[in-house]
């Protein structure tokens, strides 16, 4: 008769207590599994969103590393079409998109509003990013973009323009002169961050080059990789290929650029870490109380076992086994509970409130994340072992005579 078998019998004997404590463990486990699934989903969503926005890798002129441009395209990558073609041929690369970052004023003739512009190659940009999905009125840029522009809804509102209206874009060229071009508003986009909505403008690279008087120069080339491609290896291959062609470039990884992603990740880890710690403490306290009651109620039994020759370690094992068995039982119940709650939440269509600065909430989605289930199981077993240890140690150290005389 192993300590574990006796522990299971005792759990069956004390049904009400077993159910109560299993429910506590199950709740703790489900909280771990659901929170883990939610966090994993959020991280994955954020990661995907970030990558769809900034790419997995970015090729920039080496001069741009760690420095800010004083004039537009001061550290631009010249002869971009050739560099793009070379980069596109590197194994693992799915697509390479040019991006030209620029600032200027947009005017409707009566009013001028500053904008943050991005020059793109419209068709591949629409295919690789969320740019097209963000359009709420009109359409996204097509072909080479022509003289079309897409404005953030806030910027369009400030300028009081609609799809089909014309705006004039003014910007300073790299040599410091002022230039202007006319653009046709083809679409309005909601980029989901209010401050950016009020300034966002996208245009085809051709129009931007005309405005900036800098043909074939880009701020960066955004690289999307094929599924399974190794980021670091591809980065090295890109550097080598472009260096061999005479480009002095640096490669930036998406994590270096995704400060928002890293901040949100740290925030989530902090919040859920704190909640997890509180949960563990609640489970420990509940379990310790219940196990202490079990030890007190079974004092005479402990005395009998010790009198018959059970070593102190045997008594310790018996109560620890009871705690671990309860943890396993609770985890099993918690697993079922978590799966049911997950299915219900995912089917509920609940929209979470938008994060600070964002304009849209997102539907709640809890992912099945096996690591969270495994971590929950380990955490609950560990928690129950800790909670059981001290009552079990007390039981193992009891005076046999006093235990036998316990009423």
Partner 1 sequence: MNETSPPVVAAQGVSRSYRLGAAVVPAVRDVSLTIGEGEFAALQGPSGSGKTTLLNLLGLLDRPDAGTIEIEGKEAGSLSENARSDLRRDRFGFIFQTFNLIPVLSAEENVAYPMLLAGAPAEQARGRARELLDAVGLEEKFSVRPDLLSGGQRQRVAIARALANRPSIVFADEPTANLDSRTAEETLDLMRGVCESSRVAFLFATHDPRVVARARRVIELHDGRIESDRRVA
- Least CB distance from residue 400 to partner 1, whole Å? 5
Taking contact as CB under 8 A, which single stretch among the options 236-244, 304-312, 345-353, 380-388 is the one that binds partner 1?
304-312
Q: Which two tokens stand for residue 74?
A: 């001061």
Q: Are 119 and 100 in contact (CB under 8 A)?
A: yes
Helix (H, G, I), strand (E, B) or coil at 204: strand
**Contacting partner 1 (CB under 8 A), which of 286, 314, 339, 381?**
314
The label of the residue with tokens 């420990």 reads: 284
Phi, psi of 161 (to 5 degrees): -120, 155
**Residue number, 220 or 306, with CB nearest to partner 1:** 306
Q: Is residue 322 within the footprint of partner 1 (CB under 8 A)?
A: no
Q: Is residue 309 within the footprint of partner 1 (CB under 8 A)?
A: yes
**Contacting partner 1 (CB under 8 A), which of 20, 178, 266, 401?**
401
**Contacting partner 1 (CB under 8 A), which of 6, 163, 264, 385?**
6
Q: Are 115 and 197 in contact (CB under 8 A)?
A: no
Within a 10 A sphere around the Cβ of 57, how many other Cβ atoms? Answer: 27
Count residues binding partner 1 (CB under 8 A).
24
Helix (H, G, I), strand (E, B) or coil at 382: helix
- Least CB distance from residue 356 to partner 1, whole Å? 57
Name the residue among 257, 248, 252, 254 with its Cα closest to residue 62. 248
H or E stretch covering 201: strand 200-204
Rounded CA gap, 69 and 115, in Å? 17
Query: What is the three-state SS of 119-176?
Result: EECHHHHHHHCCCCCCEEEECCCCCCCCCEEEEEHHHHHHHCCCCCCEEEEEEECCCC
346 sits in the region (left: phi over 0; alpha: psi -120 to 50; else beta) called alpha
Rounded CA gap, 249 and 197, in Å? 31
**Contacting partner 1 (CB under 8 A), which of 227, 308, 349, 356?**
308
**Contacting partner 1 (CB under 8 A), which of 281, 311, 336, 351?**
311
Q: Is residue 306 within the footprint of partner 1 (CB under 8 A)?
A: yes
- Least CB distance from residue 381 to partner 1, whole Å? 23
Q: Is residue 399 within the footprint of partner 1 (CB under 8 A)?
A: yes
Rounded CA gap, 280 and 285, in Å? 9
- Least CB distance from residue 308 to partner 1, whole Å? 5
Rg of the chain taking only CA atoms, in angstroms? 31
Q: Which two tokens stand for residue 272?
A: 């859920």
**Contacting partner 1 (CB under 8 A), which of 157, 168, 310, 346?**
310
**Contacting partner 1 (CB under 8 A), which of 312, 354, 355, 382?**
312
- Least CB distance from residue 271 to partner 1, whole Å? 44
Q: Is residue 404 within the footprint of partner 1 (CB under 8 A)?
A: yes
Using CB under 8 A as the binding rule, the residues of this chain from 243 to 302 that contact partner 1 are: 300-301
Taking contact as CB under 8 A, which single stretch among the options 51-59, 134-142, 170-178, 398-406 is the one that binds partner 1?
398-406
- Least CB distance from residue 314 to partner 1, whole Å? 8
- Least CB distance from residue 326 to partner 1, whole Å? 15
CA distances from 177 to 102, 110, 352 (A): 14, 23, 47
Q: Is residue 348 within the footprint of partner 1 (CB under 8 A)?
A: no
**Contacting partner 1 (CB under 8 A), which of 203, 249, 290, 305?**
305
- Least CB distance from residue 3 to partner 1, whole Å? 11
Q: Is residue 67 within the footprint of partner 1 (CB under 8 A)?
A: no
H or E stretch covering 316: helix 312-348
**Residue number, 243 or 313, with CB nearest to partner 1:** 313
Within a 10 A sphere around the Cβ of 146, how many other Cβ atoms? Answer: 16
What does the binding site for partner 1 look like in residue numbers (CB under 8 A)? 1, 6, 9-10, 12-13, 300-301, 303-314, 399-401, 404
């Amino acid at each position: 008769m192993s300590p574990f078998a006796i522990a299971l019998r005792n759990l069956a004997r004390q049904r009400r207590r077993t159910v109560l404590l299993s429910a506590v463990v199950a709740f703790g486990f489900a909280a771990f599994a659901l929170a883990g699934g939610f966090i994993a989903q959020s991280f994955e969503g954020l990661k995907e969103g970030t990558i769809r926005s900034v790419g997995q890798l970015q090729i920039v002129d080496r001069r741009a590393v760690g420095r800010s441009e004083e004039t537009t395209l001061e550290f631009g990558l010249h002869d971009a079409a050739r560099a793009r073609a070379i980069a596109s041929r590197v194994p693992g690369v799915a697509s390479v998109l040019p991006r030209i970052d620029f600032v200027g004023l947009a005017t409707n003739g009566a009013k001028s509003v500053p904008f943050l512009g991005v020059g793109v190659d419209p068709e591949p940009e629409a295919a690789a990013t969320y740019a097209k999905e963000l359009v709420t009125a009109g359409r996204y840029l097509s072909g080479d973009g022509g003289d079309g522009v897409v404005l953030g809804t806030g910027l369009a509102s400030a300028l009081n323009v609609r799809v089909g209206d014309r705006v004039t874009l003014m910007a300073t060229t790299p040599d410091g002169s002022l230039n202007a071009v006319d653009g046709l508003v083809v679409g309005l986009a909601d980029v989901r961050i209010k401050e950016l909505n009020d300034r966002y403008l996208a245009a085809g690279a051709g129009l931007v080059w005309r405005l900036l008087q800098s043909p074939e120069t880009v701020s960066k080339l955004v690289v999307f990789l094929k599924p399974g491609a190794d980021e670091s290896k591809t980065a090295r291959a890109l550097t080598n290929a472009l260096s061999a062609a005479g480009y002095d470039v640096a490669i930036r990884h998406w994590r270096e650029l995704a400060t928002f992603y890293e901040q949100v990740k740290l925030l989530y880890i902090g919040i859920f870490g704190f909640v997890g710690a509180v949960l563990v403490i609640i489970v420990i306290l509940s379990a310790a109380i219940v196990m202490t009651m079990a030890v007190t109620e079974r004092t005479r039994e402990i005395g009998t076992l010790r009198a018959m020759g059970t070593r102190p370690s045997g008594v310790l094992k018996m109560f620890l086994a009871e705690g671990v068995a309860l943890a396993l039982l609770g985890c099993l119940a918690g697993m079922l509970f978590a799966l049911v709650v997950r299915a219900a939440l995912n089917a509920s269509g609940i929209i979470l409130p938008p994060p600070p600065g964002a304009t849209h909430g997102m539907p709640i989605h809890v992912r099945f994340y096996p690591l969270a289930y495994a971590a929950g199981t380990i955490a609950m077993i560990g928690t129950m072992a800790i909670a059981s240890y001290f009552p079990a140690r007390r039981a193992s150290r009891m005076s046999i005579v006093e235990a036998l005389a316990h009423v």
